[in-house]
């Protein structure tokens, strides 16, 4: 079980680890610059090195994730905004690599009604530019991926379905430095009902078919102020929203998910995740584990575990029919144009 939380960063970075400790988190997520300003924060090499060493030696906080700036919009038709977005992502990735972060979580942006197919070329170009131009990962440390976060589905937001995220990765020739972060509130708001064992099993199969379970590196764990399919991004504390603790349990307790970092992005009492929120998340995970590991009168839990193990054992040899969106991208990728430039 790895219950994490978004915490404050700061100029010296290392104190963010202790901010996680204070609330009982075993992983953390931070912004490496103001989430609503373009000006990047500058970190001296010794600050980044100190964080790498502190994270590697930390007795309780296992992983650190960075969240990219909210202003980034890689789907914009405005050339200036597009270039600022690419530069900002590149800067965020440079810092994250210097920290030996486990990933940079990214909201891709919105095409503002232009259509997903019209912007896939420029988004894939932005990913590849950032991955190429960012400062290299220090020698001897694991590389830091860009983790595409699913969107709640409002307006022209990109990444509102796993098919769209799969298409973006495919447009980058399946670059292994691209991964996935699933936000539970966004998933619920976009109409995916995982509040039962059966619903979660369907989601596991969908993720594996679309992008591959190995690309899923973390969750943003949130309840929702919005109803299922409401298409708005509104987070609630665990157990205080329309998903509820019972609805989250099948997802976070699933055998394929329970070892992944669950990063709380809940409002708390207005200042973000608290110790009581971490404790609430831990209770939900324990309840979810029981759904799969405890004997069930219906046999659903036993079946779920068997399916999960079978999926894992056959992963290396299975073939998957690509979603229609991905196939279309494969056929048209070479003719894609950069609409934003």
The backbone torsions φ and ψ at residue 272, rounded to the nearest 5 degrees and listed phi first, read 95, -175
Q: What is the pTM of this model?
A: 0.86
Determine the pLDDT at residue 333.
Answer: 39
**Residue 106 to residue 181: CA distance in whole angstroms:** 8
Q: Which residues contact 255 (CB under 8 A, 6 or more apart)?
A: 292, 304, 305, 308, 309
Q: Choose the weakest-confidence range: 29-38, 176-185, 197-206, 235-244.
A: 29-38
| 212 contacts 311 by C-beta, under 8 angstroms | no
Residue of higher predicted confidence among 307 and 184: 184
What does DSSP assign to residue 229? T
* pLDDT > 90: percent of the chain: 81
| 84 contacts 38 by C-beta, under 8 angstroms | yes
Give the fold, CATH level 3, of 3-316. Answer: TIM Barrel (3.20.20)
Predicted confidence band at 10 (pLDDT cuts at 50, 70, 90)? confident
Examine the pLDDT at 304 and tell me if it is beyond 60: no
Query: What are the structure tokens assigned to 278, written together?
Result: 């971490």
The predicted-structure confidence for 141-184, as pLDDT tens digits, reads as follows 999 999 999 999 888 999 999 999 999 999 999 999 999 999 99
Determine the pLDDT at residue 295.
Answer: 62
- Sign of the dihedral through C-alpha 33, 172, 324, 303: negative
The C-alpha torsion from 14 through 98 and 108 to 247, rounded to 10°, is: -40
Determine the pLDDT at residue 78.
Answer: 97
The predicted-structure confidence for 80-137, as pLDDT tens digits, reads as follows 999 999 999 999 999 999 999 999 999 999 999 899 999 999 999 999 999 999 999 9
The predicted-structure confidence for 23-78, as pLDDT tens digits, reads as follows 999 999 999 998 889 999 999 999 999 999 999 999 999 999 999 999 999 999 99
Residue of higher predicted confidence among 199 and 340: 199
* pLDDT > 70: percent of the chain: 86
- Residue-averaged pLDDT of the chain: 89
C-beta pairs of 275-281 under 8 Å, 24+ apart in sequence: 275/22, 275/23, 275/24, 277/5, 277/23, 277/237, 277/238, 278/3, 278/5, 278/23, 278/24, 278/25, 279/24, 280/237, 280/238, 280/239, 280/245, 281/3, 281/221, 281/238, 281/252
Q: What angle do CA 45, 128, 27 make, to 5 degrees?
A: 50
Residue of higher predicted confidence among 36 and 270: 270
Determine the pLDDT at residue 296.
Answer: 54
Determine the pLDDT at residue 86.
Answer: 98
Domain ranges of the chain: 3-316
């Amino acid at each position: 079980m790895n219950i994490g939380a978004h915490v404050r960063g700061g100029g010296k970075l290392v104190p963010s680890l202790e901010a996680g400790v204070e609330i009982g988190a075993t992983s953390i997520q931070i912004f490496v610059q103001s989430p609503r300003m373009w000006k990047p924060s500058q970190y001296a090499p010794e600050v980044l090195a100190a964080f790498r060493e502190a994270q590697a030696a930390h007795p309780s906080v296992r992983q650190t994730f960075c969240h990219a700036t909210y202003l980034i919009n890689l789907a914009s038709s405005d050339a200036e905004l597009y270039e600022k977005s690419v530069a900002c992502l590149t800067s965020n990735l440079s810092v994250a690599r210097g920290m030996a972060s486990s990933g940079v979580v990214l909201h891709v942006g919105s095409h503002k009604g232009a259509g997903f197919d019209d912007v896939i070329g420029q988004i894939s170009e932005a990913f590849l530019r950032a991955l190429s131009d960012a400062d290299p990962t220090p020698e001897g440390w694991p590389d830091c991926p860009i983790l595409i976060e699913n969107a709640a589905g409002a307006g022209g937001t990109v990444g509102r379905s796993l098919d769209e995220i799969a298409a973006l990765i495919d447009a980058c020739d399946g670059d292994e430095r691209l991964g996935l972060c699933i936000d539970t509130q966004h998933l619920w708001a976009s109409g995916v009902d995982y509040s039962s064992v059966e619903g979660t099993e369907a989601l596991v199969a969908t993720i594996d078919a679309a992008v591959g379970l190995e690309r899923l590196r973390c969750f943003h764990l949130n309840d929702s102020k919005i109803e299922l399919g409401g298409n708005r991004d509104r987070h609630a504390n665990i157990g205080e929203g329309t998903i509820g603790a019972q609805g989250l349990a099948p997802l976070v307790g699933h055998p394929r998910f329970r070892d992944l970092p669950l990063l709380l992005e809940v409002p708390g009492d207005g200042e973000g995740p608290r110790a009581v929120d971490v404790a609430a998340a831990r209770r939900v995970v324990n309840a979810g584990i029981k759904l799969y590991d405890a004997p069930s009168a219906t046999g659903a839990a036993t079946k779920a575990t068997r399916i999960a193990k079978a999926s894992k054992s056959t992963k290396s040899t299975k073939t998957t029919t690509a979603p229609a969106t991905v196939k279309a991208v494969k056929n048209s990728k070479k003719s894609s144009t950069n609409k934003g430039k």
